[in-house]
Structure 1
Amino acid sequence: MTSFMEKQPGWSVTKSACGMETAFIADFTHNATDSTPVISYNAEYDALPGIGHACGHNLISVCSLTAAVATATAMIEFDIPGTVKIFGTPAEEYGGGKIKFIDAGAYEGCDVSLIGHGSYGQTHASARTTAIKNFNVEFFGREAHAAASPWEGINALDAMNIMYASVAALRQQLMPSDIVQCCVNQGGTVPNIITGYTSAAFAVRAPTLGRMNELYDKISNCVKAGALATGCKFKISILDTYANHIPNQVLAARFRDNMIRVFGEKMLSIDEDYRTGITGASTDQGNVSWVVPSLHPMFNVDNPYGAGPHTKDFAKAAGTREAHDSAVLTGMGLSVVGVELLLNPDLLAEVKAKFDDDINKAKGELTSSVNSIKSFADLEVTE
């Protein structure tokens, strides 16, 4: 991608951006001043272990590069002043590349952030995603001979079992939109040793950041229950936190209208689109949407194999010509939005006013400052 962008007229490319070897920033300016808009597009390209581009991030790159180059081409041809940026953001699945961009101040000065993601079914202009917290849980006990002197041990596997059973019991009292995912990574080695160490990986999701934090607190109590019942010590290590994506409805309406008017696409009404555009999945674009107005349409990837993202069959579908054509079409739709924002200061002002209103409402739902979502390297250790 960097080689491609370096060949485009007027573009400059910064590799290894924001402290990440595989990140990049590509910039284009045309008669820009301090007051002209800055349109940014996010490109993703990380794959899933063992199954490749089963989330279609290759298509996100196609979409964003198409959008950015098309926007820049229009700026040259019609002498439209402004700036376009592509942020090459790695590690969306795990690691939060966009969060590192936020922490480095990359989005400061950007007026909007646009990105498109392949999925299946109806194209949605205003996709909403869940907030997620990924964290590891460890129990520390004491090994002993399981037959000769088990009373000398402190069983970390028992702590894990109690925690897991507590989480299972908790599910009856959870909301339908709450999601708790867990896998046990280490549960012991051999049966004749009292297990001294166990570990598990968790992901908790909810439609809003505030509800997700409540859910995390509930799971933390289950961890504490396992430790208290067995005498183990425990450690909770927070890996990352992705905020729920807040789609800017002004941007969504422009994208929808342009896809119909310019490209002849069939789209839902903006109200129905928002109502049905929620997904249980999560993305670090959610964090971006809390610091700059964001648009994250989900476009259809025709899948003859009949499976959705995070499957081998979807990886096959994401490699087809039809999927790439859909990504290009969505990128062109995003570019029209970008050009409109460059040309229409009133539209951009409306976008920003909607953003301010949305974020103020979202802040009101949180018990702590919105700035807390920017601290993603925190490590909670409790004994």
Structure 2
Amino acid sequence: MGGIADGFVVVNHDEANSAIKDAPPNLSDISATVDGLAADLWPVNKMIHDNPEFGFQEIIAHHTLTLFMRSKSGWKVFPSAYGMATAWVAEFDTRRKWPVVFFNVEMGGGGKIKLLQAGAYKDHNVDISLMSHPGIVNDCALMRTAAYTAFTMEYFGREAHAAANPWQGINALDALITAYNALSVLRQQTMPGDVIQGSITNGGVCPNITHAYAAGNFVVRADTQARLEELKKKVDACFQAGATATGGSLKMTTTQSYADHVPNRVLGDAYRRYFNLLSPPHLIPENDDIDEIRGRTTASTDQGNVSYAMPSLHAGFSIPPGSGGNGPHNPEFAEAAGTKVAFERSLRVAKAPTGVAVDVPSQNGLLEKVKNEWKREIQQSPKNDPARPPH
């Protein structure tokens, strides 16, 4: 239905919407707009997919995306924003109270955390944050991710001839292997949702020299930040056991931490309403609890930190997996992500959060309801500075 809002004439395709009972009034307009951009977005999609780049070095992606946004009227684009060469901001002035602001920055390395710390969200008075992520998971509106901390560990020993006088040495590799085995034993006593991962990056120089140095990279995850702190203490004890057993010294350095993602159920309800009307392969369950169970993952994201700073939607959507059935972080999934089917599903997903972004500022009281729900959820979760999760 048409009307006038804030001095703008709003025209919707009533004929299309009337065929769907209780369809949001803007659904057909949003769908038509996204479909109209598909031909322009496909080469953008292919350019980024076919030219993979490391985090914070995504020069091709940065150039491709900012060039595309600059080609669209009404958008102001700010490249290399907030001290990050590959971060950028696009802002559309709606001449209303709520300008549309879009941030783009890598997840790897905590790009969104850097934006929070730099004041990007505050600078633009951002009320809500919306994003989605593909996988071989169930389509869901309410995704809960794991709290996460990554760290390096280093053992320092003393070199000696490993055959002639091994008693004079302190074996750093033995310390690391002792800790690694202790972690394997600890895993028997961990809770569902607890994850301990690691790799050895330096195992010594050569066999006949007692290893004076050994190092590795490790990750600990848990469902909540409170549980992560408990688990991390036990993990730390395993590493200290390695140092105690061998007489070596231990240095541990935190490299990155993410908070768990706290989904907003009001935003999730709005997203689910749009998504389920767009003829997806599978409907998202209307029950919030079921949806949240389906959306639970032991993966982690810096969007978790954003969810502690403001109401957040982190929808999950499925794409057909590769021949081996693997999800993200697998070559077959990377290939599947570049297919036309995956692209078409991402377009469908783009329509649903767009609907949420339209509804929140335009429906009386909805933004307040979203914020009240966010406050309730955060009060039930461990309180932490969103830009500085526990470590």
CA distance in 2 between partners of 1:199 and 1:228 (Å):
16
- 1:338 Cα deviation after fit: 0.3
Specify every segment of 5 or more residues in structure 1 that has no aligned partner in the other structure, as ranges.
37-81, 364-368
- 1:128 Cα deviation after fit: 1.1
What is the letter of the counterpart of residue 336 of structure 2?
A
- 1:31 Cα deviation after fit: 1.0
Alignment TM-score, normalising by the size of structure 1:
0.81
CA shift digits 1:297-350 (9 cap, x unpaired): 111112352222111111111000110111111011110010001201411110
- Structure 1 contact 301–322 (Cα < 8 Å) conserved: yes
1:352 maps to which of 351, 371, 389: 371
What is the letter of the counterpart of residue 378 of structure 2?
I
User: Aligned runs of 1:125-164 on 2, under 5 Å?
Assistant: 125-164=141-180
- Structure 1 contact 121–300 (Cα < 8 Å) conserved: yes
- Structure 1 contact 14–25 (Cα < 8 Å) conserved: yes
- 1:156 Cα deviation after fit: 0.3
Summarize the Cα distance change of 1:350–1:118 in structure 2 as closer, same or farther, 3 Å threshold.
same
* Residue 20, structure 1, aligned to residue 84, structure 2: yes
What is the letter of the counterpart of residue 21 of structure 1?
A
Which residue is equivalent to 1:272? Answer: 290
- Structure 1 contact 138–234 (Cα < 8 Å) conserved: yes
- Structure 2 contact 157–211 (Cα < 8 Å) conserved: yes
Q: Secondary structure at the match of 1:172?
A: helix
CA distance in 1 between partners of 2:186 and 2:321 (Å):
37
- 1:375 Cα deviation after fit: 3.0
Alignment TM-score, normalising by the size of structure 2:
0.79
Higher relative contact order (CA 8 A, sep 6+): 1
User: Aligned runs of 1:253-264 on 2, under 5 Å?
Assistant: 253-261=269-277, 263-264=278-279
Q: Secondary structure at the match of 1:218?
A: helix
What is the aligned-residue identity percentage? 40
- 1:177 Cα deviation after fit: 1.6
- Structure 2 contact 322–335 (Cα < 8 Å) conserved: no
Summarize the Cα distance change of 1:116–1:30 in structure 2 as closer, same or farther, 3 Å threshold.
same
Which residue is equivalent to 2:313? Answer: 295
CA shift digits 1:152-177 (9 cap, x unpaired): 21110111111111111111111122
Summarize the Cα distance change of 1:175–1:22 in structure 2 as closer, same or farther, 3 Å threshold.
same
CA distance in 2 between partners of 1:303 and 1:145 (Å):
52
CA shift digits 1:178-221 (9 cap, x unpaired): 10001111111211100000001111111111111111111111
Q: Secondary structure at the match of 1:298?
A: strand
What is the letter of the counterpart of residue 95 of structure 2?
N
CA distance in 2 between partners of 1:145 and 1:120 (Å):
52
CA distance in 2 between partners of 1:155 and 1:302 (Å):
48
- 1:240 Cα deviation after fit: 0.8
User: Aligned runs of 1:264-343 on 2, under 5 Å?
Assistant: 264-265=279-280, 266-269=283-286, 270-303=288-321, 305=323, 306-343=325-362
* Residue 374, structure 1, aligned to residue 387, structure 2: yes
Number of residue-to-residue matches in the alignment: 321
Specify every segment of 5 or more residues in structure 2 that has no aligned partner in the other structure, as ranges.
1-64
- 1:278 Cα deviation after fit: 0.3
Please say which structure displays the higher CA radius of gyration: 2
CA distance in 2 between partners of 1:288 and 1:11 (Å):
24
User: Quick check: 13-22 or 240-249, which moved more?
Assistant: 13-22
CA distance in 2 between partners of 1:117 and 1:241 (Å):
19
- Structure 2 contact 150–218 (Cα < 8 Å) conserved: yes
CA distance in 1 between partners of 2:376 and 2:220 (Å):
27
What is the letter of the counterpart of residue 224 of structure 2?
T
- 1:360 Cα deviation after fit: 1.1
CA distance in 2 between partners of 1:148 and 1:264 (Å):
73
Q: Secondary structure at the match of 2:67?
A: helix
- Structure 1 contact 107–292 (Cα < 8 Å) conserved: no
CA shift digits 1:62-111 (9 cap, x unpaired): xxxxxxxxxxxxxxxxxxxx211111112x13x11111011011122211
CA distance in 2 between partners of 1:84 and 1:141 (Å):
56
* Residue 5, structure 1, aligned to residue 69, structure 2: yes
- 1:9 Cα deviation after fit: 1.0
